[in-house]
Amino acid sequence: MHRAAEAGVDVNRDVLTRGLRWLETYQQRQAEKIINGREWSDEKKRENPGQWKSQSDDTDAFVWSVLVESNAGTVLKKSSSSRTRLTKTDKDQAFSYYDFMKEEIWKVHAQLSFLVLAHYGVALTSQKDSADSQRVDLCIRMLSQFLKQDDENQTAWLDLGGRKGYCWWSWYGSPYETQAEYLKLLVRRRPNDDIAPRLVKYLLNNRKNATYWNSTRDTAYCLEAFCEYMKQTSELTPKTSIEIKLDGKTLRKVNVDSKNLFSFDNTIIVTGPDVGHGTHRVEFSQTGSNPLYCNAYLQYFTTEDRIGKAGMEVKIERRYYLLEEDRSAHENVAGGHGQVVSQRVKKYIRTPLADLTQVESGKLIEVELIIESKNDYESLLIEDMKAAGFEPVDPRSGYNGNELGAYAEFRAERVCFFVHRLAQGRHSVSYRLRAEQPGRFSALPARIAGMYAPELKGNSDEFKTIVIDIPPAK
């Protein structure tokens, strides 16, 4: 409500004031519990288990941050009763519940969750003490320990799973809220940091539901962080002139300001005869201090004999293996009387197949598709173009227990996998073929694409192989 009021929304001030008063009372109670935990004997603690605690926690830090950002800390400082429960030592170190809790939270800052630590750092940016400024820098350094970057698509994110004790199911476990609050902390302290625009792009790429992320709460976090970023980088008031050239020839020149930022024609399509043979150079230039964002897409039909792999946000790699049965494979099992019995098991030796490798007819082949995803995606289609002369070992379509949990569909010329969810990272899925028809065959590239976002796509290398007849027995 306080954020909405700051944005000019007409909110019920009485409700907002009562809410802040409740938070102030809650903070005072938690401070008293910490003091009780230090002053009370073990016997008194056992008699009053809910009236004391040894240290502050994530909730205390979150409440303190909300009160600071709402300017409610000044009310606590003026409260004459806020110092009545502090011990003499505490009075020397902190003169109010507000400052007392700030110091108590700092004592356990290394144990705070990512989200709450970022909240705490953002709240500290409003403090004037040089010690608080140093604490802000330390909060950023602590969070940046888990920072991952991808130079290829210019994104950055916090690896939340890399920290021990990360609880994704908790109120402070939302990945979007955490990334957004970290972005807000970063731009407040370092407006021109190179990591900030990468965080913005990562959050934009992970907007799962078109107009929102996962909920109204994390969507509000992201939008607020974007506004903070635009405010700190002066992107809310752009004033620049942009010129785009192809091979030295100007395609378009446009002036951009706050009035036409979302309405000017920002797309140029060059087709057919305008793109001749040879090397071409596309140039983007601008006048002004605002950053320039640009994307380029290339679509073409190729007649090359060996098609190469391509992809950015999603990539796919295809590998072929020759499977030969290991007749010496055994394992120990329990016999009928409990004795150890060596039993033969069916295992295969996987041998990678290079391009144009000769394979005997009847041999078993395993196809492995390795997928690399830059972000979390949903509703993807993987199509592996099958080489003629090979047939699936098990041609039944359906949920066959593959590694991606995808619905598999075996067609005449391809094998399809319909993936409902694909997490960020590397994954693989495999199936088996049998070489049947002798000859020289080509398997066109395997493809991966978003079913409802066709611009999200990638393909593997083309693969060529030779199937030969089984030599006659002598």
pTM, to two decimals: 0.80
- Domain ranges in the chain? 2-214, 239-287, 310-323+354-468
How much is the pLDDT for 298? 82
Within the chain, which residues score under 70 in pLDDT? 72-95, 473-474
Phi then psi for residue 223, to 5 deg, are -65, -40
Helix, strand, or coil here: 164? Answer: coil
Which pLDDT tens digit goes with each residue over 283-329?
999 888 788 888 888 888 888 888 999 998 999 999 999 999 887 87
How much is the pLDDT for 72? 59
The CA distance from 430 to 277, in Å, is: 40
Residue 428: name the closest of 412, 452, 404 by CA: 404
How much is the pLDDT for 299? 82
Q: What fold, for 310-323+354-468?
A: Immunoglobulin-like (2.60.40)
Helix, strand, coil fractions of the chain, as percent rounded to 5: 30, 25, 40
How much is the pLDDT for 47? 92
How much is the pLDDT for 81? 40
Residue 162: name the closest of 186, 174, 145, 140 by CA: 145
404: β partners: none
The CA distance from 138 to 97, in Å, is: 24
The CA distance from 164 to 180, in Å, is: 21
Q: Which residues contact 19 (CB under 8 A, 6 or more apart)?
A: 1
How much is the pLDDT for 236? 80
How much is the pLDDT for 76? 40
How much is the pLDDT for 474? 66
The CA distance from 341 to 333, in Å, is: 5
Which pLDDT tens digit goes with each residue over 39-60?
999 999 999 999 999 999 999 9
One-letter amino acid of 382: I
Reading the block at residue 427, the tokens are: 């994954």
